[in-house]
Structure 1
Amino acid sequence: MSKVPINSSKLSCGGPYNQAVKSGGLIFCSGQAAVKDGNFVPGTIQEQTRLTIENLAEVLRVAGSSLEKLVKVNIFLTDIDDFAAMNEVYKEMLPDPMPARTTVAAGKIPLSSKGGKIEIECIAAE
């Protein structure tokens, strides 16, 4: 089975990984966060959720997919009390039918020390 790395020139990786990998008709996206122009963008959970989903949409676009083709989403929150506010933006930005989803309170994520509240990874069909 082949693996094709996917990376958007509009986004940057914060480590030794690809933004996504295409394999077997699926696109596996690495976790995205509220980052723009290579820098973390602080804000409310709603603002960070919106930018994070926009970043995922960009990675999916480069891979030849879209939010409409999502099949699984994993959301990591630093504070589970942000769940309802995150869900407001999530429901607004993702089309029906909604993908399968897991949301966990991770405590810390890589950008926690800068105020990061959310990271989202996903799997989409090509």
Structure 2
Amino acid sequence: MATPDAPAAIGPYSQGISAGNLAFISGQLPIDPATGAIPADSTIEEQTRLVLRNVQAVLKADGMSMSNVVSTTVYVADLDDFARFNAAYAEFFGSSAPPARATVEVARVPRDAKVEISAIAVR
């Protein structure tokens, strides 16, 4: 699956792949699909929202929404940002049965972003 409403892949991978009733969304970065850039001086909250809007766009291209997401993997550049990240993330999933999640701090996120999120969704 592919959509112009999310950033194009920056390597040899797909934005997402459907396999039966599952969709695997590749790690999305806080890249504005209109500009191809990460907004300058953006906060962890702004980057998280942009990443999740990109996830939404890829899901929509496959006829799904955030309510189909069953698992996410989150890579953050600084776990000191965790509470602020978590608040922005909750805007998309709320408290009613949010997906399973793993969150890890990494030495570096591509393009020096603050966050990257991949997702698995089921129909």
TM > 0.5 between the two? yes
Structure 1 gap ranges (5+) = 1-5
**1:24 Cα deviation after fit:** 2.5
Amino acid at match of 2:99: P
Match of 2:38 in 1: 40
Give the corresponding residue for 1:9. Answer: 4
Aligned to 1:111: 111
TM-score (norm 1): 0.89
Distance (whole Å) between structure 2 residues aligned to residue 25 and residue 31 of structure 1: 19
Name the SS of the counterpart of 1:35 in structure 2.
Answer: coil
- Aligned pair 1:23/2:23, yes or no? no
Distance 2:15 2:85 in 1: 22
Report the residue type matching 1:124 in the other structure. A
Percent identical: 36
Structure with the larger strand share? 1
In the alignment, structure 2 segments of 5+ residues that lack a partner are none
Return the TM-score normalized by structure 2.
0.91
CA offsets 1:36-66 (integer angstroms, 9 cap, x no match): 1222223000000000000000000001111
**Count of aligned residue pairs for this structure pair:** 118
1:3 match: none
Q: Which runs of 4+ in 1 moved over 4 A?
A: none
Q: Bigger CA drift: 83-92 or 38-47?
A: 38-47
Equivalent residue letter for 2:37: N
